[in-house]
Every structure is written in C-alpha cells, then in structure tokens.
Amino acid sequence: MKPIVKSSEELLPHLFRQEYAKMTAVLCRHFGLAHIELAEDIASETFLKASENWPINGIPQNPTAWLYTVAKNKLKDYFKHTAIFESQVKKQIIASPISDQQDFEFDPKIIADSQLAMIFAVCNPGNPMENQICLALQILCGFSVGEIANAFLTKTETIKKRLLRARNQLRKDHFRIKELNEKEIRQRLETVLRTLYLLFNEGYFSKTNNQLIRKDLCSEATRLALVLTDNPLTKTAQTYALLSLMCFQSSRLEARTNPEGEAILFEDQDKSLWDNALIEKGNYYLIHACSGAEVTKYHLEAGIAYWHTTPTDQKKWEHILQLYDQLILIENSPVTALNRLFALAKVYGNEKAITEAEKVNDNHSNSYHALLGYLHAERNIDTAIEHYQQAINLTKSGTEKKTLIKEIKRLTKKKTHNKII
C-alpha cells in the first residue's frame, strides 16, 4: 500500500517545479529583471532550507505557505543588509525606495501579474525562438539545465550558452510589464502564445520518460495560458483557441501512456480515463475562441483535438481531414502533412494514403516510416515491418522505440499465425 503522506524527497521536486517559478516572478517585482539572479538566489535558498529542514522536522502542514514565509524573511534580510550597507558602509541616509518595497505578499493576484510580466519578458523577440523556450523552461517552469538539455536532446553546454545569451538580452532590455504599452503587448502576444504552445507540446510529446515532469509541464503551460485570459489585453480569440487545445489534449494525458511510460496508441486508449471536466472546458474555450474573422493554427488544432475526444460522430474523420486541409495552408510542416495523411487514410482507405505518402517521400523522418508501417500493416506485413524497422533506426525517443518494437512483435506473430491457418 502506498503511504498517504508523501516523503519530502517525493514532494520537493514537484513543489520546486510548481512554486520556484512563481516565487522568482514575484521576487522579481522587487529587484527588476536586471537582477533576476538575486530573485533566483533567494528562491533557491528557500528550497535549500526546505530540503535540509523537512527531512528532520517533517513536512509542514502547508508546505507552500512555509516556503513563501521563508522567502519573505530572506527578502527582508536582504533588504536589511542592503540598508546597512547603504546607510553605514556608504555613509548614506537610509535609502527610501527600499523600505516601501518591503511589504510584499504572495497572493494569487500578485502571482498572476508577476508571472504575466515574466512570460512577456521571456518572450523577448530579441531572442531567437529556441533561446526563448530554454529560458521559459528555466524561468517559468523551474527546469534544471540538465532537464532542458534532455528535452532538446542537446548537450548541457549548448543549453548553458543559450541561456546566458538569452539572459544577457533580457538584462539589456530592462523589461517591466508596466512599461509595455498596449501595442507592444499585442505585438508580443503572438510569441508568448507560441512559447506556451511549445512548452505544452514539450510536455505532451516529450522525449523524456519522466511522467511527473511531463504532466507538470502541461499543467504549467495551461495555467499560464489561463493567466492570459484574465487580462483584457491578452484574452484574444487566439488565446482562447490555444487554451481550448490544451484542455482537449490534457483530457487524454492519463490515457495515453501506460504505467511503464510507453505510449498507448489512440485506438487502444481506455476512454474511461479521459477527463470529462477538461473536455467540457475545452468546449467552452473553443466557443469563446470564435469571435471575429480570425482563424489561427490554434483554432484548427483545437478543432482537430475536439474531434479526437468525440468518439461517436460518424463523420469524425472527414471533419479532421477538412481541418488538416486548412491547417496545411497556414503551416505546411512535415508533421502536419503526415497527420493529414493519417486522417486521409481513415476517410479514403490506406491504399490511397500510401500513394499520397509516396509523393511526400520524407525518407529521413522516423514519423514518415512509422506512418507507412501503420498503413501497410493490414495488407503487407513484410513492408510494414521494414518501415517500422527504419523508423526505429531513425527515432531518438526511447518511448517510441519501445512502442514500435511491440508493434513489430505483434505483426510477426500475426504473420506466423496466418501461415499456420
């Protein structure tokens, strides 16, 4: 039986991911982003104290409140020291701006506002997209350099460099949310949404096997999108569409992997594990996303996700194909093209999809071979296995490898079974 009370080794990493970013964001209000390191130091020290204190004294009744109290005291100490430095060491009268900055609270409103400021700071168009995401993973989601490197399948050194460059850019920018005017917020919103979208996908399609990280990432991205819907400037149709997409996808999080972390194919998912409350929220936000003539990638993807969670409709795959047809006009990526072919197979049959797929001819992509393997599996087991094998050789994801090997085993079994008959 599982113990009800979690040990601090279990609880802390989760809390760290959840609260570190919020804490840093709120602390940043007092230091400004130019000194984000100070805020991060205080947040880190707070968690360090917890990791020393909790195993000995036990987990406090309200761990989050405990953390914030410690952070608050550390901030006070910091200001006291600076005040002494300012007044005595530098022989100056107590610096006035510091004292009125002392009273700070971690109430939900302030957290939301601070995080909004952080999101917009991170999504600085002066930084290339991948640097923005690295920074977002670190600042908004409390990821370690190692974890980011894992997610990007790159060396930690590369990530360190990216983060350094991104932070330098932020410092130059002296960003504060209050200084951003309406026009700037609107301009950056697109990048902000894109970053949240990628954050979510990082969790949803992640290469890492750690379930907890993945779920934390998805819920963090969703929560941040929700923050955007609280602000009149940022609650656009696009924001609602993205949030709707996140809700629909999240509703299937529990069902799409087994306890070993292997992916479960859509058709084999236990639909009773789908989260109905999230599906309803997805519906709600999707309806809110329909104002004005604007149709974005998020609208279409939310639509596709909607049909995936609606198991009964007979025309389901026709709707999905139609949406992919529109999506491919907005964003012609290999992933979209392959997903469209999957829908095409559902509507017009595998043969037709195979002909179309051969036109795409994306030989270096594991997804391309995985799709061809799937399309051939019914009629031509040998060709299917060949493609699956190529997909295995090309993929970098352990989870995908496992799933594909399983599929090959199933096909081989079916083949010998056919022979016996």
Partner 1 sequence: MKEFALIFRLNNTTDFKPSPEQMQERMNWLAGIASQNKLADKGNTLLPTLAGAKTVRPNNVVSDGPYTEIKEFISGYIVIRTDTIEEAVEIAKSNPIFKIGGNIEVREVLKRD
Among 144, 156, 211, 322, binds partner 1 (CB under 8 A): 322
Measured from the CB atom, the residue of 87 and 310 that comes closer to partner 1 is 310
Query: Is residue 242 a contact point for partner 1 (CB under 8 A)?
Result: no
| Pairwise CA distance, residues 306 & 100, whole Å | 49
CA 268 to chain centroid, in Å, comes to 24
Q: Which two tokens mark 370?
A: 């995985």
The vertex-186 CA angle with 136 and 278, nearest 5°, equals: 60
CA 304 to chain centroid, in Å, comes to 19
Measured from the CB atom, the residue of 256 and 297 that comes closer to partner 1 is 297
Measured from the CB atom, the residue of 158 and 322 that comes closer to partner 1 is 322
Q: How far is the CB of 319 from partner 1 (least distance, A)?
A: 6
Binding mask 324-353 for partner 1 (x = CB under 8 A): --x---------------------------
Q: Which two tokens mark 18?
A: 């959840």
* DSSP code, position 89: I
Task: Determine contact, residues 76/42, Cβ cutoff 8 Å.
Answer: no
Measured from the CB atom, the residue of 327 and 341 that comes closer to partner 1 is 327
Among 184, 230, 280, 331, binds partner 1 (CB under 8 A): 280
End-to-end Cα distance, the chain: 46
| Pairwise CA distance, residues 183 & 194, whole Å | 18
Among 214, 299, 369, 387, binds partner 1 (CB under 8 A): 299
Query: Is residue 284 a contact point for partner 1 (CB under 8 A)?
Result: yes
Listed residue (10, 18, 22, 43) closest to 216, CA to CA: 18
Listed residue (25, 32, 33, 38) closest to 77, CA to CA: 38
Q: How far is the CB of 328 from partner 1 (least distance, A)?
A: 14
Query: Is residue 293 a contact point for partner 1 (CB under 8 A)?
Result: yes
CB atoms within 10 A of CB 97: 6
Task: Determine contact, residues 352/345, Cβ cutoff 8 Å.
Answer: yes
| Stretch of residues binding partner 1 (CB under 8 A), selected from 45-53, 84-92, 204-212, 284-292 | 284-292
What residues contact 329, with CB distance under 8 A and at least 6 apart? Answer: none
| Pairwise CA distance, residues 189 & 225, whole Å | 11
| Stretch of residues binding partner 1 (CB under 8 A), selected from 1-9, 70-78, 182-190, 292-300 | 292-300
CA distances from 245 to 7, 154, 264, 284 (A): 34, 28, 20, 11
Binding mask 88-127 for partner 1 (x = CB under 8 A): ----------------------------------------
Among 164, 273, 290, 335, binds partner 1 (CB under 8 A): 290
Query: Is residue 310 a contact point for partner 1 (CB under 8 A)?
Result: yes
Measured from the CB atom, the residue of 213 and 289 that comes closer to partner 1 is 289
| Stretch of residues binding partner 1 (CB under 8 A), selected from 209-217, 299-307, 339-347, 357-365 | 299-307
Strand partners of residue 257: 263
Q: How far is the CB of 256 from partner 1 (least distance, A)?
A: 20
Count of chain residues binding partner 1 (CB under 8 A): 25
Q: How far is the CB of 244 from partner 1 (least distance, A)?
A: 9
CA distances from 282 to 35, 121, 185, 334 (A): 38, 28, 25, 26
Binding mask 123-152 for partner 1 (x = CB under 8 A): ------------------------------
Measured from the CB atom, the residue of 30 and 297 that comes closer to partner 1 is 297
Give the residues lining the site for partner 1 (CB under 8 A): 280, 282-284, 286-293, 295, 299-300, 302-303, 306-307, 310, 313, 319, 322-323, 326
